[in-house]
């Protein structure tokens, strides 16, 4: 064998080796890219699953909330329908909604409302106070997430009234409800009805808040969602004479039921 043929064979062998190395390197690169793509796909799938779980839990929480709300709406229209079994069902719905979505203020407010009805149905005074304390704490928790919500402040006014705690906190809740809810029917109803009953419990507090009570009463009589509650509050407190004088001062037409 000549030296030229030996060189030729050596070059061919070297070329084959180099080609094989390039193929192996290319194959490794493709495998590496494939693994990266698989990891990216897996990460995307896991992320999509996590994102889909949240809307589902929110939807389930909302269904539980409406289970409680349906009871609350019925009781508002017909308080005589309230019984212990309904209260237990409504409480379960509200608790489940909070378990599924703890940071949503609407759900904690709904449980607070259920506990208020439960307290009204409770005969034992200590248990009643415990329920009202829990309801108040729930509303205060709601305000951490939604501090300017007028209905929550109005609820706090009502709870303090039920507890007969006409203290600094009561005044604070009253002022905040009025400030955040100048057009809120819930605020009009609560301030008007409770305000008209204040003279029998605390004359000084009534005089301090007289203009506030008057303002929300007049606004409530004009609001379709508050009018009935305000008129009922006037009649229950037997304050037709006082309210009729306010209506005359403001040259405001009086509802027939008040017989001004």
What pLDDT is attached to residue 54? 58
Q: Which pLDDT score is estimated for 214?
A: 97
Residue spans of the chain under pLDDT 50: 1-34, 36-52
Q: What per-residue confidence (pLDDT) applies to 103? A: 85
Determine the distance from the C-alpha atom of residue 133 to the mean position of all C-alpha atoms in its chain, rounded to a whole number.
Answer: 18
What pLDDT is recorded for position 166? 96
234 and 155 fall within a common domain: yes
Residue 104 and residue 167 share a domain: no
Q: Examine residue 94 and state whether it is found in any structural domain, yes or no.
A: yes
Same structural domain, 162 and 253: yes
What is the model's pLDDT at position 20? 46
Of 97, 117, 146, the domain-final residue: 146
User: pLDDT at position 223, please?
Assistant: 96
Do 198 and 105 share a domain, yes or no?
Answer: no
Domain C-terminal end among 119, 146, 173:
146
Q: Which residues contact 187 (CB under 8 A, 6 or more apart)?
A: 150, 151, 153, 154, 177, 178, 180, 181, 216
| Cα–Cα dist 198/209, whole Å | 9
**Final residue of a domain: which of 113, 146, 179?**
146
Helix spans in the chain (H): 3-77, 84-100, 105-120, 125-145, 150-162, 168-180, 185-201, 203-208, 210-222, 227-237, 240-249
Condensed to tens digits (0 to 9), the pLDDT of residues 147-195 reads 999 999 999 999 999 999 999 999 999 999 999 999 999 999 999 999 9
The answer on 253 and 241 residing in a single domain is yes
Structural domain contains residue 196? yes
Residue range of the domain that includes 153: 148-260
Claim to verify: residue 153 and residue 138 sit in the same structural domain: no
Closest CA to 101 of 142, 134, 62: 62
**Helices 168-180 and 185-201 sit at what angle, rounded to 10 degrees?**
150
Instruction: Give the number of domains in the chain.
Output: 2
Q: Is residue 220 domain-resident?
A: yes
* 133 exposure class (CB count in 10 Å sphere: 0-12, 13-18, 19+): middle
* Non-local CB neighbours of 6 within 8 Å, separated by 6+ positions: none
Residue 99 domain flag: yes
In a domain, 186, yes or no: yes
Same domain, 234 and 156: yes
Is this structure's pTM higher than 0.85?
A: no
């Amino acid at each position: 064998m000549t030296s030229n043929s030996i060189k030729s064979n050596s070059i061919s062998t070297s070329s084959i080796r180099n080609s094989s190395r390039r193929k192996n390197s290319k194959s490794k690169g493709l495998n590496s890219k494939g693994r990266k793509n698989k990891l990216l796909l897996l990460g995307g799938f896991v992320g999509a699953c996590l994102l889909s779980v949240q809307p589902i839990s929110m939807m389930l929480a909302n269904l539980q909330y409406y289970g409680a709300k349906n009871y609350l709406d019925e009781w508002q229209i017909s308080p005589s329908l309230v019984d212990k079994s309904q209260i237990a069902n409504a409480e379960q719905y509200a608790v489940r909604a909070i378990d599924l979505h703890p940071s949503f203020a609407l759900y904690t407010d709904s449980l607070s409302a259920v506990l208020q009805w439960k307290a009204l149905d409770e005969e034992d005074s200590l248990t009643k106070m415990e329920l009202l304390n829990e309801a108040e704490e729930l509303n205060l928790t709601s305000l951490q997430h939604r501090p300017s919500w007028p209905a929550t402040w109005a609820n706090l006014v009502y709870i303090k009234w039920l507890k007969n705690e006409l203290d600094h906190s009561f005044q604070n809740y009253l002022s905040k409800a009025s400030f955040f809810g100048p057009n809120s029917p819930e605020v009009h109803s609560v301030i008007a009805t409770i305000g008209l009953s204040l003279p029998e419990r605390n004359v000084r507090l009534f005089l301090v808040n007289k203009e506030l009570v008057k303002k929300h009463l007049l606004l409530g009589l004009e609001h379709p969602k508050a009018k009935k509650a305000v008129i009922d509050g006037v009649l229950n407190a037997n304050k037709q004479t006082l309210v009729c004088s306010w209506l005359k001062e403001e040259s405001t037409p009086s509802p027939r039921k008040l017989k001004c």
